Amino acid sequence: MASRLTGRPVTGARRSSGSPAEVRLDDGTLVMVKRGDGPGAVRAEVAGLRWLAAADAVRVPAVLGHDERWMVTERVPTGSPDPDAALSFGQALARLHAAGAARFGSPPPDGPEDAYIGLAPMRNAPGADWPRWYAEHRVLPYVRGAVDRGTLRPAEATVFERVCARLPELAGPAEPPARLHGDLWNGNVLWGADGEVRLIDPAAHGGHRETDLAMLRLFGCPHLDRVLAGYRQVTPLADGWRDRVALHQLFPLLVHVVLFGRGYAEQALAAAREALTG
């Protein structure tokens, strides 16, 4: 597969039970070979990586070849999280967001509207108003999906509906669409051995920049205080952003409720209640 997509002979591979797998090309270059998890998944990821790279801000692995089901990217040698790298990452993330998007929900150029966040479908339907778009395309679809699967009770869904009804007042100052990684949890942050951070596995789209930052906090990110310090050196955050972290975490938490079951439902409900109380 790697040979066909890169045009280079393969001389070795590390055995792997899943995806991605590490492969060595004939010149010694190590690459990662990944299979898409659904229709359009590779197209969405390739378009996302290239859109993020085009901002000339945060680094991402180069795409070396792809088809409809498989993609090959450069392998990133990793090191340990470093405070200086965290500061630089925050600065680069601010520049990435400032590169912008056409509208909230806009997919990357050449990317499909029907994309993915992890294994969950994610629709990139453009909208002009962030509160309405966030409710219609990032909260309520996953609430309905969780109720349909029985991982969220119908009575519990009303808590999220209340948040959506109040989003215009909870959302804070209006902001332009930012260029988001879209699935920015710590597992998608690679601390490079060269002291630079790379981002992998994007669910890229136009969105609110606080969503990426809230996702970094959700599952823990090393030296997050330094990341935020670097970010604010480049672009100040709007007043009250800390009070909106739970609001922006609703999206990834509800995705986890849909994908992984009831264990995340209480966490999502707690975030919804926190968003309502500020």
* φ/ψ bin of 124: left (φ > 0), alpha (ψ from -120 to 50), beta (otherwise): beta
Does residue 68 lie within any of the structural domains? no
Does residue 177 lie within any of the structural domains? yes
pLDDT for residue 140: 98
Does residue 269 lie within any of the structural domains? yes
Task: Identify the DSSP state of 236.
Answer: P
Decide: 119 and 142 in contact? Cβ < 8 Å. Answer: no
User: pLDDT tens, position by position, for the chain (278 residues)?
Assistant: 777 877 777 787 776 656 688 888 888 888 999 998 888 999 999 999 999 999 999 999 999 999 999 999 999 999 999 999 999 999 999 999 999 999 999 999 999 999 999 999 999 999 989 999 999 999 999 999 999 999 999 999 999 999 999 999 999 999 999 999 999 999 999 999 999 999 999 999 999 999 999 999 999 999 999 999 999 999 999 999 999 999 999 999 999 999 999 999 999 999 999 999 97
Domain of 243, in residue numbers: 77-277
CATH for 222: 3.90.1200.10
Q: What are phi and psi of 211, to 5 degrees?
A: -65, -45
User: Residue 104 in 3-state DSSP?
Assistant: strand
Does residue 54 lie within any of the structural domains? no
Structurally, the chain folds into a number of domains equal to: 1
Does residue 125 lie within any of the structural domains? yes
Does residue 127 lie within any of the structural domains? yes
